Amino acid sequence: MTNTKTSLVETVSELLQTSTTEVFRTMFGLETSPLPADQLELSNRPLVAGSIGFIGEANGMVHVHVSSDFARTLTSRMLGMAENEIDGYEMVNDVIGELSNMIVGAVKSQLCDMGNTCVLTIPAIVRGENINVSPTSSTDQSLLGFCCGNNHILIELQLKQST
């Protein structure tokens, strides 16, 4: 799948970059741009994160973090509803889970096309402030950030190759 100059974490990070941009453009009609490394933080705000794992020749977790306000906006756009029509967390959680599934599903498909079979776990949703996901010592981590208008998207990749 990768040559000696490109690690698996770099390859998956590049795939995440492409799939995130495509999913936001296609599903929400929104353009994203890369966020500089010094701005890769969403803490001190209520957050919603969708988490999906993939298991196989490539093993890892992807966490897609957005602010709760932006999660409501995304829900409104995806479901064609006004934000004031969104009641509670259920619809928002479903949309963020689906958003995460679409982003990671596109990566999984490309990994499989490259000969690295893997399957996805079901999405999980985490809500809170100052969410920090720490990798274990045997896991590589990559952080990707995107700007979408005044909103930020943070994607955390934790990856470990099968032995």
pLDDT surpasses 80 at 47: yes
Dihedral, 79, 85, 88, 90 alpha carbons, nearest 10: -20
Q: Which CATH superfamily is domain 8-161 in?
A: CheC-like (3.40.1550.10)
Using 50, 70 and 90 to split pLDDT, how confident is the model at 19? very high
Say which residue, 161 or 119, is predicted with more confidence.
119
CA pseudo-torsion sign 47, 66, 51, 85: positive
Tens digits of residue pLDDT in 92-132: 999 999 999 999 999 999 999 998 889 999 999 999 887 77
Q: Please state, for a pLDDT cut of 70, what percent of the chain lies above it.
A: 91
**Residue-averaged pLDDT of the chain:** 88
Strands (E), the chain: 33-34, 47-56, 58-67, 118-120, 124-128, 140-148, 151-161
Across residues 31-41, what is the average pLDDT?
83
For the chain, domain boundaries:
8-161
Say which residue, 34 or 132, is predicted with more confidence.
34
Q: Residue 149 and residue 132: Cα distance in Å, rounded?
A: 24
pLDDT at 4: 41
